[in-house]
Structure 1
Amino acid sequence: MKKQVGQTKDVGIQFGIRKTVSISAELVWNFLFSDKGVEIWLGKLKHELEFKKEFETKKGITGFVRVFKPKSHIRLNWKLKDWPNMSTVQLRVIEKQEKTTIAIHQEKLLNAEQRSKMKEYWVKIIKKIDTELKKVKC
């Protein structure tokens, strides 16, 4: 049987995207976890995002914050409203010299259709983040 794109041995299907910007990791992190930043990459929350707590967005994305390492990464269970499954999303901020890479990784996707949908979704999100970070930099 041929392996699907994004197929892993242990965590189903995955997708990842990265964007490197010429902005300090501290500024990137602070933006991503500001109200505006969270709204872009996660959605408008019904309650504040908290470590080891469930969350829900106004658009019905639900999950649980599993790991929160300030100025490094967040890892959470993540489920779209109409999905039968829970996936895992990790957002990481990686500083290298004068640049910062924003890495978004999603695993435990059910199939190629979910992967394709999430690829489209995260490409739009990373573009919005990049656009907003350019405003922060100025």
Structure 2
Amino acid sequence: MVGLTQGAGWEIGVSGTVRHPVEQVWELLVSPRGLRLWLGVTELGTSRGDRYESADGTVGEVRSFRPHDRMRITWRPAGWDHDSTVQVALSSRGEGRTVLRFHQERLADEAERVRQRDHWRAVLARIVDALDQDH
């Protein structure tokens, strides 16, 4: 079945290429404005174990944080009975272009996978809009 792995259960990945350099994309993602767009918080720690909670009750903690490259966090919305893991990764495609990827694993089932795919697609669109508005 598409999206079902043996090691990480159900997972989803959403990516897009933006016409902005890695440094600019990263700076938006970790800024208060950017964090609100994709995580619903205005502050996120950078050390393993740093916790966060969004206004809608989503909780989690930082697992890894590598500036201008990737971050991994746990992600558990209010009402869920399990944690998932979200990775946000950037890679340069030259000429000021960046691939931005959101990958989420340890989802409960196929229906949750579909909902999260739609969620991360909407998040990606908001990030692209914010980047394009800035420049």
Q: TM-score, structure 2 length as denominator?
A: 0.94
Q: Percent identical across equivalent pairs?
A: 32
1:54 Cα offset (Å): 1.2
Letter in 2 for 1:49: L
d(CA) in 1 for partners of 2:52, 2:13 = 22
Partner of 1:65: 62
- What do you get for the CA RMSD once the two structures are aligned? 0.9
Partner of 1:111: 109
**Matched residue pairs, number?**
132
1:8 Cα offset (Å): 0.5
Q: Which runs of 5+ in 1 are unaligned?
A: none
1:74 is aligned, of 62, 71, 74, to: 71
1:22 Cα offset (Å): 1.1
d(CA) in 1 for partners of 2:41, 2:72 = 18
Q: Which runs of 5+ in 2 are unaligned?
A: none
d(CA) in 2 for partners of 1:117, 1:96 = 29
Q: TM-score, structure 1 length as denominator?
A: 0.92
1:44 Cα offset (Å): 2.5
1:54 aligns with 2:51: yes
Task: Give the SS at the match of 2:28.
Answer: helix
1:123 Cα offset (Å): 1.0
